[in-house]
Structure 1
Amino acid sequence: MSTRTSPPTLPFAARADTLVGSVIDSSTSLLAAQSHDIVRFAMGSPAAEAIPTEVLAEIGTKTIGAGSPDAFDYAATEGDMPLRVALLDELDGTSDATTLERLTITSGGMQGLDLAFKIFVDPGDLVVVESPTYTNGSATALSYQADLLEVAVDDDGMVVEALPELVERAGRTPKVIYTIPTFQNPSGATLSLARREQLLELAREWGSMLIDDDPYGLLRFAGSEVPTLHELADGDPLVYSVRTFSKIVAPGLRVGWLDTDPSLQRLLINAKQAMDTCTNLPAQRLLTGFLTGGHLDTHLATQRREYRLRKETMKEALTEHFDGVARWTDPEGGFFLWMTFEPAIDTEKLFEVALAEGVAFIPGNAFSPDRRFPDALRMCFASTPPDRIREGLARLRSAVDRLAGS
């Protein structure tokens, strides 16, 4: 009997080298392994107390229990019809108003992104991404072997006017443009109306798919509404809109939706059937009950008030501890605030010290495939109550001073 003396050579696909893990998602396991108290600004999720657990449990008893014998069966790949209809009614009159044939239910917003890159991106295709951008979005593009072109973000979102020169320099037009236009992750910035219109014009000129990833648009707590890219596109098939219930109801349900040209739905169904057959039906039924029961509007109003309070608390604490040391964004909604140290501090080194001090964040380089933000970090204000926000930023200042002293 032979004895193996070296590990086998496994027949990896060429794309295996392009699979990039998520620093954000990995932070969940990292923080769970810590035994000391930590103020958690890292994960971009609603606060535990913001999830309507009792309402969902009551709905579950009625709609998934004895009253719904098929609740644990397979669902239609495009989504359970009662949820699609309830969602259609909920969106009526909003900037995301749509029609039934444009809606596809997905397993979270991430599946919507994966489907987009799977359907539209070939190896070597150019994909425009914001810089900084959502780690998981750029990682998904890379998993389909895209070449990424990073475009800067300022207080008005993606610097769209820089795109033509960047594309000319790249020597080819992008196959896909990926944007988070409202309360962007990680900066919190919102793409201005003028830039939204210009971005649509460029997508049409180049024939580029425009992935409109908007998980936070319903969480505006200040400022004026801006029409969504979906509304401005007026049915243009180049606009592919990704939405999710993860940020507005509960992330663990893993339910989102796509709004796309009806001609795409058969292809989306084919691609999704090769992934998971259908989105979790019990979760769809829970959300149907939540929507038809009239709970979403009340829930969102409560969350907007609370998130505004938490953001203002974070701004006040930042001014107290970091005035003259850093600058930060001032989002009008969503979950995130982006902080840049001046003079620069290596936030990856700071992360280790801060974790020991009892506070966690995501270092800026995680949000750029080219690692362009070594002196920045992202903090989620939505998941932490005001008193803990103040404590967390005091701990962060201690960590900065400790790092400087070392």
Structure 2
Amino acid sequence: MTKVMKSTSSSPKKPIDLLSGWPSPSLLPPLHLEAAAHSVLTDPQIAVQSLKYGPDEGYLPLREEIAKWLSRFYVPKNPVTLDRITITGGASQNLACVLQTFTDPIYTRNIWMVAPTYFLACRVFDDNSFSGRLRGVPEDDEGIDIDFLAKHIEASEKDAASQGNTEPMLKTGYPWRRTYKHIIYGVPTFANPSGRLMSLRRREQLVRLARKYDALIVTDDVYDMLQWPSEAGEDRSKFRKAVLPRIVDVDRYLDGGPISEWGNALSNGSFSKIIAPGCRTGWAEAAPKLAWGLSQCGSSRSGGAPSHLVASMIHQMMSKGELDQHMEQVLLPGYEKRFKRMMQAVQSRLIPLGVIIPQPDKDVSGGYFVWLTLPGSLDAEAIRKKVLEEENVTVITGPKFRVAGDEDNEATKFNQNIRLCFTYEDFDLLDEGVTRLARVIKSSLET
């Protein structure tokens, strides 16, 4: 996310950034990366392979390590196999490759985005000829509003039929390409921006719906491993495994398994949140045929999988246990401490003013963000401007998380919502940032 500009106000107050969805510099692992780079570049065998064009599917040792790592964390009914993994240039870059490979600008009807949405994904969809066909689907207490989605996706099918759509395609068919009629995009675990956790029941309903309407569910599963107990004093060890299966796992077993060899779900993973954004390295997991097809995207075929050199460095970190060590000793306790510091401030200063947050899971918390609903008739944009001008605190408001081109959707306005990020700003300023925001909300309610 773009770094915010500091306030131009003459206020002497120290600026506080609760907007930027970045990891704290204090929690990055430069020494681990330095050691990994040294191991790669000083071993002639590894160095030669890492500095060449890599295979389309990505650096083989990293694919093998990721398959074992995911199997340990998610504990699926069957282990994750090598042929389900493709190395990517990170979640954002891979989303573009997914669209290039598995959609058609005419045949693919719509992009359905869980809203509030990760708004920067809208540009990726627009770049792939879907401008004007992005549709927001609101959340409910279980995650995506499945009834809303079913109603509108069925209406889109009827509309296409009424127009005599003969389902033409612009793209030529190849054995690695499978074109879907719909794309469903979301962040089901610790969603950006709402922080919600989609229930297992809702994940299963979504897979059944995708199968019915020939949709590919693309999930950004980038926050899954950033989880911790909601209550102080709980045993942290039980949160070192996933509390819910991913949607791509659900598609493997639900109702006897996928209805075709391609499947209807793809998990978009990234090391940006657990190592560093600058690594620009991630992975995709899907049914073997879908994973292989993704690796045949033209940009990969031209030069091999992206981030080949960094992939070899990340493999060093994983194979030596350094990534697990960094997460266990630094990242997870650091983010848990930050989250609980912010939530204490929210509970003591904002909730008494009538601010509402999504009902937290009684057992597990995680991710990067806290989503607020303002009380009364307060307008989020007005509060954002006021807290910047008067208190030198930067936040981002709900309207930013609308789906581009679908702003008139009454179910996804978010005019009274604010997102706070607890992962970037200095720990000692998190409480102060919420305190300043509370002052502005209180004064606005009184006027």
Is TM > 0.5 for Structure 1 vs Structure 2? yes
Corresponding position of 2:145: 159
Corresponding position of 1:344: 377
Task: Give the 5 Å matches for 1:36-115.
Answer: 37-65=14-42, 68-70=46-48, 71-95=50-74, 97-115=79-97
The one of 135, 141, 144 aligned to 2:128: 144
Between the aligned partners of 1:69 and 1:93, the Cα distance in structure 2 is 29
Corresponding position of 1:367: 401
C-alpha deviations, 1:70-109, integer Å up to 9, x for none? 2433322321112112222222333264211221111111
SS of aligned partner of 2:349:
helix
Between the aligned partners of 1:133 and 1:392, the Cα distance in structure 2 is 24
Corresponding position of 1:379: 420
One-letter code of the match for 1:388?
L
Give the stretch that moved more between structures: 265-274 or 111-120.
265-274
Per the alignment, do residues 346 and 88 of structure 1 end up closer, same or farther by CA in structure 2, a change over 3 Å counting?
same
Give the stretch that moved more between structures: 31-40 or 352-361.
31-40
Corresponding position of 2:226: 219
C-alpha deviations, 1:189-235, integer Å up to 9, x for none? 01101101111111111111111221011112137711111221116
User: Which is bigger in relative contact order (C-alpha 8 A, separation at least 6)?
Assistant: 2
Q: What's the offset of the Cα at 1:58?
A: 1.9
Between the aligned partners of 1:29 and 1:78, the Cα distance in structure 2 is 36
The one of 101, 121, 137 aligned to 1:119: 101
Between the aligned partners of 1:44 and 1:312, the Cα distance in structure 2 is 17
One-letter code of the match for 2:152?
L
Q: What's the offset of the Cα at 1:405?
A: 8.0
Between the aligned partners of 1:172 and 1:324, the Cα distance in structure 2 is 46
Contact 1:127 1:149 in 2 (8 A): yes
Please list every run of 5 or more consecutive structure 2 residues that lacks an aligned counterpart in the other structure.
161-180, 231-238, 408-412
Give the stretch that moved more between structures: 232-241 or 245-254.
232-241
Task: Give the 5 Å matches for 1:260-339.
Answer: 260-264=286-290, 265-273=292-300, 277-302=304-329, 303-322=331-350, 323-329=352-358, 330=360, 332-339=365-372
Per the alignment, do residues 307 and 239 of structure 1 end up closer, same or farther by CA in structure 2, a change over 3 Å counting?
same
Q: CA RMSD in A?
A: 2.7
Are 1:259 and 2:285 matched, yes or no?
yes
- Percent identical pairs in the alignment equals 27
Corresponding position of 1:11: none
C-alpha deviations, 1:41-90, integer Å up to 9, x for none? 21222211111122211222222346554243332232111211222222
Per the alignment, do residues 403 and 81 of structure 1 end up closer, same or farther by CA in structure 2, a change over 3 Å counting?
same
TM-score by length of 1: 0.85
Give the stretch that moved more between structures: 340-349 or 58-67.
58-67
Contact 1:120 1:176 in 2 (8 A): no
Per the alignment, do residues 276 and 39 of structure 1 end up closer, same or farther by CA in structure 2, a change over 3 Å counting?
farther
Corresponding position of 1:206: 213
Contact 1:77 1:272 in 2 (8 A): no
Contact 2:97 2:294 in 1 (8 A): no
Per the alignment, do residues 108 and 31 of structure 1 end up closer, same or farther by CA in structure 2, a change over 3 Å counting?
farther
Contact 1:78 1:104 in 2 (8 A): yes
Contact 2:70 2:80 in 1 (8 A): yes
